[in-house]
Amino acid sequence: MKRDRRSRILATLGPASSTVERIRELCAAGADVFRLNFSHGSHADHAERLKLIRQVEAERGHPIGVLMDLQGPKLRVGRMAGGKVLLEAGQPFRLDLDPAEGDASRAGLPHPEIFAALEAGTELLLDDGKLRLRVDRFGPDFAETTVLVGGALSDRKGVNVPGVLLPISPLTAKDRADLAFGLELGVDWVALSFVQRPEDIREARELIGDRAWIMAKLEKPAAIDHLDAIVALADGVMVARGDLGVELPPQQVPVLQRRIVRAARKAGRPVVVATQMLESMISAPVPTRAEASDVATAVYEGADAVMLSAESASGLYPVEAVSIMDHIIGEVERDPAWRTELEASHTPAEANTPDAICCALRRVAELLEPAATVAFTSSGFSALRASRERPLAPILALTPRLATARRLALVWGVLPVPFDEVHDVAEMIEHATAATLKAGVAQPGDTVVVVAGLPFGQQGSTNLLHVARVPGVPGVPGVPGV
């Protein structure tokens, strides 16, 4: 299944997209990876969706990645008398640990860790920032506040504490149970919510090991203070603009998006831009012009993938949303300015052998204009380093591990191909040229560039670059399917 575009599409499955027929349609429209949102749905729902994804994967003969998105801690007020109360700007309002129903003067907040992190003057945001409180006085079990922006406060509305590092693990008891279930199912990526510091990635890594790759969701301003360290420890990052847009002024979110994308690209980590990309398509068959520009901006910045949430999970036009996103990406990548912007935002390679090889790959590709790059990889490392260079030619990632192929489905420009082990360089070149023919990215006589690590199968050992020509007469070994 050859994609002519380099940026990938991550589509969320939900009630509107959970039949095998709909998943087939989404793949045909352009979806490369599917997201299972564990904030909604039962374990049985997600197990059925993953089974259907694997069925479609087998039909198409091409790896499809699956990302499980953990819910993370949800900070909420308790229940309110009558279900809703009205807060007026300027009035006092108390938050405390008392589980009794709230009223116009107080509400329960069953999160002592919030009170432990408060300072006088801290602002609390309720209901996605619609209401704003200023902390005047606090203790270990209460906060006396003044309402700065009033409005209706109803049961179980969310609480955000911008600018405060909360002493909370990103993994709740629910998340740990969900994680164990998802890993048993065989998900390829785990999106970790509520990341605030590098230690959060280490905590998740102890549980996940190498059974899946970890994607850090950057949705808390505290995470930005540790951006480079988090990016270095994670396998990928997501610009989760929903909570970022609640806890920060909206004008700061585009700037942070650009900063996060550049940090991820510099480190060679896949980066996903998410949240409200085609929001109006939840109920309309076409996006707004601003939404189309939003998707295009992420592609111009060099994001590995753009994500659909409710648009594909519960919207009225899930297939159309994927199709339009596919068309937007294709239009951008045909623009000569796209390549110019990628070149301008490229960061220098590190002084190590794998980066030196892939830096040379970049220069060779500019001079020879090969039909494809072929990366032999067991762990995915060689393909990731090749993708970091953003070569114009597609990158075929030949790997003996199906799990690696599925993980690489999210990566910019990479076409993952499950393949048998190779044992020497001659066999490697033979298989590389055969793979380009089979994938339809090269013709007999074309030039391809091969990168690999010797000895084969040793992670992080990228140290070989070879320029080969596709044989004039086809007939070399074929490429097995999934």
* Helix segments in 389-477, DSSP class H: 402-408, 425-439
CB 37 within 8 A of CB 69: yes
d(CA 395, CA 380): 12
Beta strands in 75-128 (DSSP E): 84-87, 92-96, 106-108, 123-126
Vertex 399 angle, CA 323 and 53, to 5°: 40
* Residue 150 neighbours by CB distance under 10 Å: 17
Query: Of the listed 76, 134, 205, 262, which one is catalytic?
Result: 76
Q: Which of 331, 325, 482 is nearest to 415 (CA)?
A: 482
Distance linking the first and last C-alpha atoms of the chain: 11
Q: Is 76 a catalytic site residue?
A: yes
Q: Is 217 a catalytic site residue?
A: yes
Query: Of the listed 6, 106, 132, 217, which one is catalytic?
Result: 217
Q: Is 35 a catalytic site residue?
A: yes
Q: Is 66 exposed, middle or buried (0-12, 13-18, 19+ CB in 10 A)?
A: buried
Query: Edge-to-edge strands of the sheet including 462-469?
Result: 414-418, 395-399, 372-376, 447-453, 462-469
108-to-111, 118, 145 alpha-carbon distances in Å: 9, 16, 13
Q: Which of 199, 191, 218 is nearest to 407 (CA)?
A: 191
Query: Of the listed 122, 145, 275, 433, which one is catalytic?
Result: 275
Q: Is 3 a catalytic site residue?
A: no
d(CA 309, CA 36): 10
Query: Of the listed 5, 35, 132, 220, which one is catalytic?
Result: 35
* Residue 470 neighbours by CB distance under 10 Å: 22
d(CA 223, CA 89): 31
d(CA 48, CA 67): 15
Enumerate the active-site residues. Answer: 35, 76, 217, 275
